[in-house]
Amino acid sequence: MASENEWTEAVDKDGWLRPAAGSGPREPRWGHPGGMQLGLHPLSGPRGLLRLYTPYLDQPRDRLLNFIAVEPIPAGETARGFSELERSRLDDVPGLRMWTTDDPTDAAPRDPRDPARGRVEVADGVERLIVEVLVEPFANGADVWVRVEFRADRPHEVSVAAFRRDGSAELEACVLTATMGNWARLRTLSLAGRDMSAGELWPDYRDIHFAEHAVFGVDELRREGHAVVISAMPDEPSPHTAEHVPGTAEHWRYVGRRAVQTWRAEDPDPALVAQVNGRYTYWMSEHPIPGGIAFENFELVEPFRQGRAFTFSVEPLDS
């Protein structure tokens, strides 16, 4: 695979950041030039994950804020497929392959260094950039793709929607989960009429694995019109100044401004729930997270609907 430095960087044109036109290796990156952006492997990080960048938080260009994983659950089951953790059946390496295309009905794998540029459309008077992200089939029989949509009037958010292919296993749900809350050390959950802290949810947890999910029903979530909303935020005034124990990997040290991360779902199913789990130590390490346990996976889970979109936004907390 080419490294990040062996391709043409995405270009800012007509108000959008998109892969360069032409042939040859090109960076798989889309979104707002000064706002939220999405990238795919082989940009830095594990395979099988959507990468979210927020340069408006005064972060370096290649510093991502969070990942979104694709985790389908077949009908009648509770166990998920894991786009990041499964081993690819296409090339036998960790992480399912993801690539982009202009035609999501064509499931033929493509080189991720030859990305589709996405299409620009206008709906309800608002210009949008839409990118179709294909995922190789899961071991549990699920076969899905994800539609990513940016709105010109909302530079700090992205919508993600899962589609089930013909021939896929029927789905109970397809969870699109933000997986790296520990980097920003998200500890405060904003619910309807109250806040909940990670320390309150898991006061005695000190293991190196994931704490059990905390689950909140649709009636416990904030309402904005016809939508339900849940937000997670750090509880430290200056997370970039935290002291880490010796040996903590450099990439876990937060940089940039603080921000609140939010999921929103329009017209929720009554069975929708919001879930968070937590970690006391950073992923794949025994190094404690400064300040104690923090949220890691942050998600909305709802009975599967074809093309159902969830919106993820990141807004600065500091002016």
DSSP string, 21-58: SSSS-B--EEE-TTS-EEE-TTSSS-SSEEEEE-GGGT
Indicate the number of domains in the chain: 2
Give 209-222 pLDDT, tens digit per residue. 999 999 999 999 99
Are residue 160 and residue 266 in the same domain, yes or no? no
Structure tokens at 152: 């010109």
Q: Return the SS3 of 182.
A: helix
Report pLDDT digits (tens) over 165-218.
Answer: 999 999 999 999 999 999 999 999 999 999 999 999 999 999 999 999 999 999
Identify whether residues 20 and 169 lie together within a single domain: yes
Question: Do residues 111 and 5 share a domain?
Answer: yes
pTM as predicted: 0.96
- Single out the residue in 179, 199, 230 at which a domain terminates: 179
Structure token digits, residue 23: 């042939």
Whether 133 and 240 map to the same domain: the answer is no
Out of 152, 179, 206, a domain closes at 179
Q: What is the mean pLDDT of residues 99-109?
A: 96
Counting every residue written for the chain, the total comes to: 319
Confidence class of residue 3 from pLDDT cuts 50, 70 and 90?
very low
Q: Parallel, antiparallel, or unpaired for β 273-279 and 119-123?
A: unpaired
**In the listed set 147, 179, 211, which residue is the last one of a domain according to the structure?**
179
188 and 171 co-located in one domain:
no
Q: Do both 253 and 165 map to the same domain?
A: no
Among all chains, which residue has been given the structure tokens 């044109």?
Answer: 13
Please give the DSSP secondary-structure letter assigned to residue 241: G
pLDDT digits (tens, 9 = 90+) for 17-56: 999 999 899 999 999 999 999 999 999 999 999 999 999 9
Residues 5 and 148 in one domain: yes
Please indicate, yes or no, whether residues 109 and 60 belong to a single structural domain of this protein. yes
CA distance 218 to 52: 26
Helix (H, G, I), strand (E, B) or coil at 172: strand
Per residue in 215-242, pLDDT (tens digit) is 999 999 999 999 999 999 999 999 999 9
Domain extent, residue 186, equals: 182-319
Alpha helices in the chain (DSSP H): 181-184, 198-201
What is the band of 318 on the pLDDT scale with cuts at 50, 70, 90? Answer: confident
pLDDT confidence band for 5 (50 / 70 / 90): low
Are residues 271 and 175 part of one domain? no
Neighbouring CB atoms inside 10 A of 85's CB total: 14
